[in-house]
Structure 1
Amino acid sequence: MQRIAIYGFGRIGRQLLRIGLQQQLFVPAAVADIRDEPTLAALFAVDTNYGRWPEPVAGRPGELEVGGRLIPYYNASAAVPDWGALGVDLVVDCTGRATTRAGAQVHLDRGAGRVLVSAPSKTLADCDAVLLKGINLEDFDPARHRIVSMGSCTTNALAAPIKVIKEAFGIQYGLFSTVHSYTNSQSLTDQPMKDRRDSWAAAENIIPSSSGAARALQFIWPDLHVTGKAYRVPTRTGSIAELTLVTERDCSVQDVNAALRQAAQAGPLHGVLDVLEDEWASSRIVADPHSALLDLPLTAKQGQLLSVAAWYDNEWGFSNRLAEVAAHLAGGA
C-alpha cells in the first residue's frame, strides 16, 4: 500500500478517515488542514450526522490520535506540505478547490505521485480521468492518470443507474433533477453570496442550484446526452435524484426494475448500487454506504419517457467510494 495523505479535513475529509479506518482500507500518512488540531479532533470524534467515533480521539500540536493511531498533522494555511519529503504517494484533495489542473498540480509540484480530487473537475483538460468504482475504475492507468477526479456525490448516484439502463436499453437523451441536502457552500442566514440564490438561509428555503454531475458524466460517456440541475433543501444529509430518459429500445417498468435488481445483486455495481422495494423517506438512507439506492416503487413509464429515482447519502455514500478508489489507486485493491 502506497502512502496516502488527506488534504482538507472538512465534511468529506473526516468521513473519508472514518471509512478508511473502519474498513481497514488505510491509515493516512498525513492529514493537512488550516484549523487547529484540538478542534479538528473534536469534530472527528463527534459528528452531527454520524454520531460518536467509538475510540478515544485527541488533537495535539502536529498530530491527531485516533484509537492509539498517531497521524501526523500539518497546518496548510501557509503552504501545501512537502509531500515528497513526507513520502506521500497519493493525496486525496477534499477541499473542493482542486477542480482546475493548476489547483491539483500543486500537490504534484510538492512531490506527490498522484492526486485524487473529491469534486468534479471544471473541464476534462483539468484532470487526466474521471474514475468511479463500478463504472470505469478498471481503466486506471498509473502511467497516464496522475490527476484523477471522483466527480461529485450526484455524479456517482446517477452513474450507477445510467450504466445499467444504457447497457440494457440504450439512452437517447435525458434530464435529471436532484433534491440535495444543504452544504457549507450556502449561508445559514440571509446575506449576499457569490451565487445569488445561495444568499437566502439554507435551513429555511428550497434553493435551486447548478450541478456539475452532467459534465462529469460526459467525461465517462462522451456520447451521453443527459443534463440537469439541483435543488438544495433543509435536510442535514440524504438526497434523491430523479432521472428521466428516452431509451433507444422499448422497455417496461418491470424490465427496468429487473435490470436494477440484477445489477445490485452481482457484477461491478454490487455494493455500489442497491434497490429499495418498499416505500421510504430520506432518513432510511442516511449512513448507507451505497452510491445509489434505486427506489423501485418510484420507477415510472409514460410513452417514451422512463423515470427512475435514486436515493443517496451525499456525504457517506460518496465518502465510501472515495475511500475505496483511494485504496485502489494506492495499490490496496
Structure 2
Amino acid sequence: MFMIGVNHHKYGNSLKIVSNASCTNNCLAPLAKVIHDNCGIMEGLMTTVHAITATQKTVDAPSGKLWQDSCGAPQNIIPASTGAAKAVGKVIPELNRKLMVMVLHVPTHNVDSCSSTFDAGTDIALHDNFVKLIFWYDNRVVDLMAYMASKE
C-alpha cells in the first residue's frame, strides 16, 4: 500500500499490483505522518463520518450477527468497523497499533469528514493548551500512478 507524501518513495517497479488505500487513510495518514515526524504520536483517535455505502441495507431487516447490519441506511446513523487504523500502520509502521478509528455511516449520498485527536510526545500548542489542525482528503491516486510510471 502506497500513499503520496507518506511512503510512495518505497515503491519498486517490480510490484505488479499496488493499493492507494481508502479515502479515510488518504486523509488521516499524511497528517499523522507530519505530526509523528515532528512531534511523535503516542496514540490517537479518529472519527470519520461516511455517506451510505453500497453494502448497506435500504430498510431495517434481520441480518447477520451484528445489529448494525440490520439497520436501514437511509433511516439511521450506523456505527461500523474499519481497517483504517491497520492500514495507516502499514504505511507508517511506527504508528502500528497506536491509532483507533471509529466510523459512522450517515443517511446522505456524498460526504466524508474526519476528526482526529492525537497524544503527541511534544508540545504543539497554538495557545497554552489548544491545537487546531485542519486537513482534507484529496485523491492522489493519479499522482501515485504518475510516480509509478516515472520509475519504469
Question: Do the aligned partners of 1:243 and 1:307 also contact (CA within 8 Å) in 2?
Answer: no
Q: Which residue of 2 aligns with 1:199?
A: 70
- One-letter code of the match for 2:8? L
Pairing partner for 2:9 from 138, 146, 164: 138
Structure 1: runs of 5 or more not aligned: 1-129, 255-299
Q: Which residue of 2 aligns with 1:229?
A: 102
Point out 4+ residue stretches in structure 1 off by more than 6 angstroms.
none
Q: Which residue of 2 aligns with 1:174?
A: 44
Q: Which residue of 2 aligns with 1:80?
A: none
Q: Which residue of 2 aligns with 1:100?
A: none
Q: Does 1:323 align with 2:145?
A: no
Q: Which residue of 1 aligns with 2:85?
A: 214
Question: Do the aligned partners of 2:13 and 2:151 also contact (CA within 8 Å) in 1?
Answer: no
The structure number with the bigger radius of gyration is: 1
SS in 2 for 1:183: coil
The structure, 1 or 2, with the larger RCO (C-alpha pairs under 8 Å, 6+ apart) is 2
- One-letter code of the match for 1:163? K
Question: Do the aligned partners of 1:243 and 1:308 also contact (CA within 8 Å) in 2?
Answer: no
Structure 2: runs of 5 or more not aligned: none
- Mapped partners of 1:147, 1:213: distance in 2: 20
Identity %: 34
- Mapped partners of 2:32, 2:41: distance in 1: 8
Residues 173-219 of structure 1 show CA distances to partners (whole Å, capped at 9, x for unaligned) of: 11111111111121121234445413211121110011111011111
- One-letter code of the match for 1:240? S
- Mapped partners of 2:75, 2:133: distance in 1: 28
Question: Do the aligned partners of 2:57 and 2:70 also contact (CA within 8 Å) in 1?
Answer: yes
Q: Does 1:248 align with 2:137?
A: no
1:147 CA drift (Å): 3.0
1:331 CA drift (Å): 4.1
